[in-house]
């Protein structure tokens, strides 16, 4: 069985994130540093509870930032792969949700599935607290590939199982940032039929599989993300 390693690349669409209009015709995104990874961003009002006033129940609404995290999945030969699941998981959600409203204001993500062009879209709905969204999480690629391999006999093993990200939005400034951790770049050895072969290149038997990182290896993802936001805390 031919094994594929999935190369997960950022999608580069012209215009980057959509400059959607909010209430009153105002633009939601004025400064886009998402580099095409976040699209169709809008601000919506959601019913998050009720407030009792004498004999009346008054509905309470809160603002949510909604949109899609976008990316592309291909194989080693840059062919788009369809049907690969991508999930987003928020980390430390209690930091971004006020305890008094934790039952109502929560971050939510819908799983994305790559289409015939390899494009996946992970929908998000994030509460805007104090005019900001500041969320850390991770993208998980094809998490059920082992079960598929056991049950179906074939599957797509992700070259990167997961990657950390940070999504930052400032409503007052109209600033949107999407930062992702260090990504691996995959190369494949090739041979020339004309020139004599000098020596065997390391990894020339790839892509039978990808080597696992050494135990205790440093993880620079957080340093890369924090460096971008160094002056914004």
Q: What is the 3-state secondary structure (H, E, C) of the chain?
A: CCCCEEEEECCCCCCCCCCCECHHHCECCCEEECCCCEEEEEEEEEEEEEEEECCEEEEEEEEEEEEEEEEEEECCCCCECCCCEEEEEECCHHHCCCHHHCCCCCCEECCEECCCCCEEEEEEEEECECCEEEEEEEEEECCCHHHHHHHHCCCCEECCCEEEEEEEEECCCCEEEEEECCCCCCCCCCCCCCCCCCCCCCCCCCCCCCCCCCCCCCCCHHHHHHHHCCCCC
Question: What is the model's pLDDT at position 18?
Answer: 38
What's the pLDDT at 110? 93
* pLDDT at 121 (0 to 100): 96
pLDDT of residue 17: 38
Q: Report mean pLDDT in 10-residue bins for the chain, 233 residues.
A: 47 36 64 92 80 68 92 90 93 47 61 95 93 93 91 89 93 93 75 74 58 49 58 53
Domain segments of the chain as ranges = 5-184+207-228
**What integer pLDDT is reported at residue 87 of this predicted model?**
93
What's residue 184's pLDDT? 73
This prediction has a pTM of 0.68
């Amino acid at each position: 069985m031919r094994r594929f390693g999935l190369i997960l690349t950022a999608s580069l669409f012209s215009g980057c994130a959509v400059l959607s209009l909010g209430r009153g015709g105002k633009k939601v995104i004025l400064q886009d540093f998402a580099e095409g990874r976040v699209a169709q961003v809008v601000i919506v009002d959601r019913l998050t509870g009720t407030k009792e006033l004498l004999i009346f129940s008054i509905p309470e609404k809160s603002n949510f930032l909604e949109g899609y995290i976008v990316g592309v999945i291909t194989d080693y030969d840059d062919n788009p792969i369809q049907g690969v699941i991508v999930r987003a998981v928020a980390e430390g959600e209690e930091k971004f949700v006020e305890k008094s409203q934790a039952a109502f204001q929560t971050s939510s993500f819908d799983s994305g599935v790559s289409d015939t062009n390899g494009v996946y879209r992970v929908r998000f709905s994030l509460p805007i607290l104090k005019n900001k969204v500041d969320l850390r999480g991770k993208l998980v690629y094809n998490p059920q590939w082992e079960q598929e391999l056991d049950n179906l006999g074939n599957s797509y093993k992700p070259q990167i199982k997961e990657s950390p990200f940070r999504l930052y939005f400032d409503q007052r400034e109209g600033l949107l940032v999407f930062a992702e951790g260090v990504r691996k770049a995959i190369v494949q050895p090739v041979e020339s039929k004309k020139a004599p072969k000098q020596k065997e290149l390391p990894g020339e038997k790839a892509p039978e599989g990808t080597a696992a990182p050494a135990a205790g290896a440093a993880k620079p993802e957080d340093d890369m993300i924090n460096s971008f936001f160094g002056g914004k805390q």
